């Protein structure tokens, strides 16, 4: 699709984000199964429900702008999903693997946050205030999910992982 206008760019961004969210929705149940810490498992399960709502809001944005269906595949999320699957396939102490899952999940969240920030800015520039408001809701949820993951890491998982794993000694 040629990018002849900011509207074209917003359309491309929405299609890409929609694909990313769909990929995440497929991955989150497996991430929840792979997590051993109850708080992390619960965070992934809650975020799946949020992701379903985010997809619904994206569909509202797409309908509001009259965007045709797309077979766009978010390549960035494909890469992040592959890295996350690799982490889920690793072997080691459960707390260490949980810390790795949090890192993988935060890379995903940061990718989404960047995409939503751009899309909100484009929608606002184009005067699509309803679309911008829906996208801002998704952005707020992604930011909150990132904060939840950070809190789980610093208050629970990382300390348990250090105790469970071998420390690297400095030479």
59 domain-assigned: yes
3-state SS class at 67: coil
170 domain-assigned: no
Report the range of poorest mean pLDDT among 43-47, 76-80, 135-139, 155-159: 155-159
CATH code at 94?
1.20.1260.10
Token reading at 88 = 């889920």
Of the pLDDT bands very low, low, confident and very high (cuts 50, 70, 90), residue 165 is low
Mean pLDDT, the chain, rounded, equals 92
CB 164 within 8 A of CB 36: no
Residue 166 has pLDDT above 60, yes or no: no
How far from chain centre, in Å, is Cα 19?
Answer: 11
Give the C-alpha distances (Å, rounded to integers) separating 67 from 11, 19, 88, 136. Answer: 7, 14, 36, 19
168 domain-assigned: no
85 domain-assigned: yes
171 domain-assigned: no
Number of domains in the chain: 1
Token reading at 146 = 């990132």
pLDDT at residue 167, rounded to an integer: 54
User: Within a 10 A sphere around the Cβ of 119, how many other Cβ atoms?
Assistant: 26
- Nearest Cα neighbor of 112 from 138, 92, 132 is 138
98 domain-assigned: yes
pTM given for the model:
0.91
Residue 129 has pLDDT above 80, yes or no: yes
pLDDT at residue 3, rounded to an integer: 85
108 domain-assigned: yes
110 domain-assigned: yes
- Residue 107's domain comprises 6-163
The model's pLDDT over 101-119, given as tens digits with 9 standing for 90+, comes to 999 999 999 999 999 999 9
Residue 169 has pLDDT above 70, yes or no: no
The model's pLDDT over 52-97, given as tens digits with 9 standing for 90+, comes to 999 999 999 999 999 887 888 999 999 999 999 999 999 988 889 9
Residue 171 has pLDDT above 60, yes or no: no
């Amino acid at each position: 699709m040629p990018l002849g206008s900011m509207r074209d760019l917003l359309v491309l961004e929405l299609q890409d984000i929609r694909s990313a969210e769909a990929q995440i929705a497929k991955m989150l149940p497996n991430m929840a199964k792979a997590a051993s810490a109850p708080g992390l498992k619960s965070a992934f399960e809650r975020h799946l429900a949020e992701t379903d709502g985010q997809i619904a809001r994206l569909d509202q944005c797409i309908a509001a702008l009259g965007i045709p269906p797309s077979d766009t595949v978010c390549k960035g999320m494909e890469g992040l999903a592959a890295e996350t699957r690799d982490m889920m396939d690793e072997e080691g102490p459960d707390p260490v693997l949980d810390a790795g899952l949090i890192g993988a999940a935060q890379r995903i969240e940061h990718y989404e946050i960047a995409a939503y920030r751009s899309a909100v800015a484009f929608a606002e520039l184009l005067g699509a205030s309803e679309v911008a408001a829906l996208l801002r809701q998704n952005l707020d949820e992604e930011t909150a999910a990132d904060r939840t993951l950070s809190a789980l890491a610093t208050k629970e998982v990382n300390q348990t992982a250090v105790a469970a794993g071998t420390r690297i000694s400095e030479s």
